[in-house]
Structure 1
Amino acid sequence: MAVILEAVDYQDPDAAEKFVNSLRETGFGVLKNHPISQDEVHSIYNNWYDYFQNGNKYDFLRNPETQDGYFPPEESESAKGMEVKDIKEYYHFYPHGRCPEELREQLDTYYKNTSAFAGELLSWVEKYSPNEVSARYSQSLSSMIDGSTQSLLRVLHYPPFTGDEELGAIRAGAHEDINLLTVLPAANEPGLQVKAKDGSWIDVPCDFGNLIVNIGDMLQEASGGYFPSTTHRVINPKGMDKTKSRISLPLFLHPYPEVKLSDRHTADSYLMERLRELGVI
């Protein structure tokens, strides 16, 4: 029987339990009727589409030390184990980092509001963790991001296809995220898929207004594998969709560096290990 990811209504009295159960079973949870402003998301998409088309993006080329700024297609990531780079460009935003002034206030507001909401989602995860799992947490999950300056807001642009793409390249190769949770408003175009336990690929509901949340490697590490960091990808469009850009806005929730994830890793040691694997540092 095919696995189907269904959106959980945030207003439902049982929303927290249903959401955490979805995370446990698939690595992903989808929320509707949540408090993140969709008008704000729509405006960010429009403003950053214009920026990627016409903006002074090369004035903000990424800083290798701070990892903020603009990452052009030739410097974008390759998924772990992949030789071919993803077909994308993106901007890394931290409130303390660089940003075009005309876009800063909007991103800063979104970053703060979504980070606060994410704290609630982490408290849901902790509430519905079995006792033997929550005993592993060195501190409450929501407190791991309190005051953290490591959480990253990435504005992603997957450009239209030109026919010159490298053989085997896709918009985002199969990968897992590094962080605790990733919070992602539905993109303006479909394409996100998650790998099910049977190896099949499931389309993640992309209705505009949905909020998509997935588990990262750090939560998997902290929970001793109880919450799985699930493989996902963004597939290439077909037909007329090839002529369309895709904008995406993931917030990667990172603990502050000293947080102890497990006997093996702090948040900082884990992050550095993964960034080296990705070839980013």
Structure 2
Amino acid sequence: MSDIAIVSLEQPLESIADELGRSFAEYGFAVIRDHGIPQDLIDRAEAKSKEFFALPTEAKMAYKIEGGGGARGYTPFGVEKAKDAEIFDLKEFWHVGRSLPDDHELAEYMAPNVWPSEVAGFRETFTELYNAFDKAGGRVLEAIALSLGLDRQFFAPTVEDGNSVMRLLHYPPLPEDAPDGAIRAAAHGDINTITLLLGAEEAGLELLTKQGTWKAVDVPEGALVINVGDMLDRLTNSRLRSTTHRVVNPKGEAVRRARFSMPFFLHFRPDYVIETLPGCIEEGRESEAPEPISSHEFLQQRLREINLA
């Protein structure tokens, strides 16, 4: 059995598409090198993220938006739970979303961003990183389209002005009073189209294989981890798999270290209808394909399930 693909985005997409498709079909995961996000931007973003999470709790809580479902601003430690989980995850996070003009046809779906005044350059840094993630994600989607036998630009209009969200994640040193069984991120699948993750070099990320065993995802420094979300799984009738994954607690000296990462949850447009691709439906089994649903409706269903709406 081949392992999780590690490919370079500097290669012609035609030469990596099949390998990506194989990896997403088997594992739901792949690793991307040479993704085009500048290292100096990544370094700046990591420093700004650490600066924000080091603020006093009361300062961070000023950016918690009641009734916002965690879509923008700050979500404190002990709030988010994985679907069907009894215990909260051991993390806090900040969300940056897409900024649209008030008169945009999709503006009603996307709340305005908020920015912490205590961290100089926060807005500029993360606006730049958001746009870099968006560009890299578009290129990955081109390769995915080719792997599915579609026009390489198939996904471009489906994600244009989509409700993508960048998350700054802070897993504090393991608290001594953590509930029994609590881990940094309990087993879950992602809701969105694809996820691009920076900062997974430190051990802890694991995926659940088809055989039912947990497999560590080993990541070269500076690479992006890409995984399939539930929306793309639904669109492809599970040909590309949204795989259950988790972040387990560290051991030894690492329990006293914080962990930081930055996932970018790339979403379809809110008005895009997720209807199974004809090429992913087996002849005679058309009735088994999932019912069409708008990406916005699908997102709202799932946010309720993970305690964010």
Match of 2:83 among 80, 92, 96: 80
For 1:152-178, what per-residue CA distance to the aligned partner results, in whole angstroms no more than 9, with x for missing partners?
A: 001000000131111000000000000
Aligned pairs for 1:207-218 within 5 A: 207-218=220-231
**Residue in 2 aligned with 1:141?**
155
- Counterpart CA distance in 2 for 1:107 and 1:63 is 22
For 1:72-99, what per-residue CA distance to the aligned partner results, in whole angstroms no more than 9, with x for missing partners?
A: 1132x11111110000000011243111
SS in 1 for 2:274: coil
SS in 2 for 1:117: helix
1:108 matched to 2:127: yes
* Structure 1 residue 10 displacement after superposition: 2.6
* Structure 1 residue 264 displacement after superposition: 2.6
SS in 1 for 2:53: helix
- Counterpart CA distance in 1 for 2:139 and 2:179 is 41
**Residue in 2 aligned with 1:259?**
272
**Residue in 2 aligned with 1:57?**
60
- Counterpart CA distance in 1 for 2:66 and 2:32 is 34
SS in 1 for 2:78: helix
CA contact (8 A) 1:7 1:210 kept: no
Match of 1:121 among 137, 140, 143: 140
How many aligned positions are there? Answer: 272
* Structure 1 residue 189 displacement after superposition: 2.5
**Residue in 2 aligned with 1:99?**
115
CA contact (8 A) 2:5 2:19 kept: no
* Structure 1 residue 24 displacement after superposition: 1.8
1:248 matched to 2:233: no
SS in 2 for 1:249: strand
SS in 2 for 1:60: coil
CA contact (8 A) 2:208 2:245 kept: yes
- Counterpart CA distance in 1 for 2:229 and 2:97 is 19
CA contact (8 A) 1:4 1:202 kept: no
For 1:98-118, what per-residue CA distance to the aligned partner results, in whole angstroms no more than 9, with x for missing partners?
A: 112530110001101110121
Aligned pairs for 1:143-182 within 5 A: 143-148=157-162, 150-182=163-195
1:270 matched to 2:290: no
SS in 2 for 1:73: coil
**Structure 1: stretches of 5+ with no match in the other structure:** none
**Residue in 2 aligned with 1:190?**
203
Q: Structure 1 stretch 241-250 or stretch 92-101: which is displaced more?
A: 92-101
- Counterpart CA distance in 1 for 2:19 and 2:39 is 23
Identity %: 33
Higher CA-based Rg:
2
Q: Structure 1 stretch 42-51 or stretch 227-236: which is displaced more?
A: 42-51
* Structure 1 residue 255 displacement after superposition: 1.2
* Structure 1 residue 4 displacement after superposition: 3.5
1:68 matched to 2:64: no
Normalising by the residue count of structure 2, what TM-score does the alignment of the two structures yield? 0.83
Matched AA of 1:190: A
CA contact (8 A) 1:191 1:203 kept: yes
For 1:163-216, what per-residue CA distance to the aligned partner results, in whole angstroms no more than 9, with x for missing partners?
A: 111100000000000000001113362211111111111111233211100000
